[in-house]
Amino acid sequence: METKRVYRYVPSFSGSYGTGWKVMADNFLRLLLVVLVMAIISGPMSIFGHGNVKVDPFDFESIPFDMDNFFKIGAVGVAAAFLGLIGLLYFLLLRPVFQYGAKMMFVQSARQITPDFEMLIKGFSKSYLNIVLANLLVTALVGIGIVFLFVPGIIIACRLAFTPYLVMDRNLDPIKAAEESWKLTRGHGWTIFLMGVVAFFIFIAGFICFFIGVLVADMWVRSAYATLYQSVLIEKGLYQVEGVPGPEAAPADDTEA
């Protein structure tokens, strides 16, 4: 009989990245496929704005002003606007469903549950409206915070980091998910911020190791955040795990934000 590895759910920087590495290692192939799928899904966003016609609006000498050229430029502008609209709709209405589903798969891995690939599309039938509205709400709040002196945007992003998990895991509506995320992340804001800063350098190291390094970096960071979410739920008494050391096994090494 196969014995599962024991995870220590400690809601701290070291605890999240440490256990996150084990989560990634134990589910390597499945999580690798998840990040590959997400890379493909994110791909269409890069094609909008690219085309075969290149016009430099400041190079007047290269643009002979005649009616034929005028209509060509107009057609390019209309096409660009249409592609931009399609890209915006894709970004707001489709991409979040896959992103939220992928996050839940990493949570399943952190709970030592075999990740279910149906979770990637489950949001279309289960919580589609909540996902779209929650993504819009978080994006708007973080954007507004960044406009006002930047720092508020970082604080909001850290405190609302659990919103996607709560929408998928607890089936909460956008407002309740954001409010619950704000409560759950109280005392863990600095942990989330530090994890984000370190994630940047992890991805840099991944780029140095070329393509496979980026994939491993992505899996590790996603696993770490899912582990932190699971650890906080256990700490708050919202999820019970029998026989697994919890936060009391080791003190958190982060201060309240």
Per-residue pLDDT of 176-191, as tens digits, reads 999 999 999 999 999 9
**Side chain identity at 191, as an amino acid letter?**
T
Through-space distance between the first and last CA atoms of the chain, rounded to whole angstroms: 44
Q: pLDDT exceeding 90 applies to what percent of the chain?
A: 68
More confident residue, 149 or 213: 213
Give tens-digit pLDDT for 50-71: 444 444 434 434 444 455 555 5
Is 148 contained in some domain?
yes
Q: Looking at the 3D structure of the chain, how many domains does it have?
A: 1
C-alpha 80/C-alpha 52 separation (Å) is 11
Is 8 contained in some domain?
no
Q: pLDDT exceeding 70 applies to what percent of the chain?
A: 79
Is 71 contained in some domain?
no
Mind giving me the DSSP string for 147-210?
HTTSHHHHHHHHHTTTHHHHHHHS---HHHHHHHHHHHTTTTHHHHHHHHHHHHHHHHHHHHTH
Is 34 contained in some domain?
yes
Residues 6+ apart with CB under 8 A from 111: 230, 241
Point out the least confidently predicted range of 34-48, 170-184, 187-201: 34-48
pLDDT for the residue 6: 85
Is 101 contained in some domain?
yes
pLDDT for the residue 57: 39
Residue 37, pLDDT > 60, answer yes
Torsion of Cα atoms, 84 then 89 then 90 then 93, to 10°: 170
Is 255 contained in some domain?
no
Is 100 contained in some domain?
yes
- Angle 125-130-134 from CA coordinates, rounded to 5°: 140
Range of the domain at 159: 19-42+96-238
More confident residue, 243 or 131: 131
Is 245 contained in some domain?
no
